[in-house]
Amino acid sequence: MMYWGGTDIGVWGYVLMIVSMVLFWGAVVTGIVLLVRSFGPSSERRIDQSGTSSAESILAERFARGEIDESEYTGRVAVLRGKDTTTRP
């Protein structure tokens, strides 16, 4: 009976348990989210295998579908590649 009430962890022990559990489960959830994002599809368009930029591949798709004609396609590709297509006197 000498240690009566002396074996309780106290208020700070409970606070430490609560904080550590919140941090633990936060780390677990964050790890799962990062893991899913790393293996999931990317929302950004990247440079494809042939080395063309995504803007050029979008133009190629639009040209293949017939949305733009050949002159508009070649003009826009030239602008994307930095070539000056304007005629100056």
Residues 6+ away with beta carbon under 8 Å from 68: 59, 62, 76
Among candidates 43, 76, 71, which has minimal Cα distance to 58?
76
Among candidates 73, 43, 71, which has minimal Cα distance to 57?
73
Instruction: Report pLDDT for 64.
Output: 93
Q: What is the pLDDT along the chain (89 residues), one digit of tens a residue?
A: 455 666 678 888 899 999 999 999 999 999 999 999 888 776 554 545 555 568 888 899 999 999 999 999 999 998 888 876 565 54
pTM across the whole model: 0.43
Would you kindly state where each structural domain of the chain is located, as residue ranges?
Answer: 51-83
What does the pLDDT look like over 2-20, one tens digit per residue? 556 666 788 888 999 999 9
CA distance 79 to 89: 20
Cβ atoms of 65 and 73 within 8 Å: the answer is: no
Output the CA angle 69-62-44, nearest 5 degrees: 150
